[in-house]
Amino acid sequence: MRVVILGSGRGSNAEAILLAQQAGGLGAAQVVQILSDQPDAGILALGARFGVPAAFVDPAPFRTKLEGPGEDRFIEAIQAARADLIVLAGFMRVVKPRFLGVFAGRVINLHPSLLPAFPGLDGIGQAFRAGVKATGCTVHHVTREVDAGKIIEQASVPVEPEDTLETLTAKVHAAEHRLLPAVIARLSRLPQ
């Protein structure tokens, strides 16, 4: 199963996936390409470290969505990599129907809350401020409705009275780093 990872930030989840792959823990999945919409994103530096092609793809003209010429460029790059699975790991841009049509059923996203609670931006901060007793992270299929696609798997993180936003953030990230590689490994073992 050929995996393409899309991310906009530091890439700690992409790193977790690549470390799992190095350790033989990614099932039949293999990361074949990393793509970012941010030219200076930390995620791009993982390419050289893990021997995986990594590239910035110009997402213009929009700032928060992938549509039009930028969408075409991403579609082309993903098709060139012959992706079976597209993993959005901190890709901070809304993907649109054309993209989802081309890669129907093959796009998954990681979100830092127990969806359907706290969709959108800053899932961890939203949960912390709401005072919930548990939050976590979700891997789900990507559909037209943001953060509303079918849930594949979730990991729960208890919120302790002494937690600060910082400690809770670290716990949710640690849960993400376990969950996402495990889900990819599991998907790779399903008949395609």
Instruction: Kindly list the residues in this chain that would bind ligand GAR in the complex (CB under 6 A).
Output: 7, 9-13, 89-90, 110-112, 123, 173, 176
Answer yes or no: are the C-beta atoms of 13 and 108 closer than 8 Å: no
172: nearest Cα among 100, 106, 90, 79:
90
The nearer residue to ligand GAR, 59 or 82, going by C-beta atoms, is 59
CB of 14 to ligand GAR, least distance (A): 6
Q: Which residues pair with 79 in a beta bridge?
A: none
- Min dist CB 44 to ligand GAR, Å, is 11
Question: Could you say which of 111, 140, 173, 177 is catalytic?
Answer: 111
Cβ-based nearer residue to ligand GAR, 40 or 192: 40
Query: CB of 192: closest distance to ligand GAR in angstroms?
Result: 25
Tokens 């893990």 identify what position?
50
Q: Residue 51 — left, alpha, or beta (φ > 0 → left; ψ -120 to 50 → alpha)?
A: left
Nearest residue to ligand GAR, by Cβ distance, number only: 90
Which tokens belong to 160? Answer: 């302790």
Clarify whether 111 is annotated catalytic: yes
Residue closer to ligand GAR (CB basis): 80 or 92 = 92
What is the separation, in whole angstroms, between the first and last Cα of the chain? 8
Catalytic (active-site) positions: 111
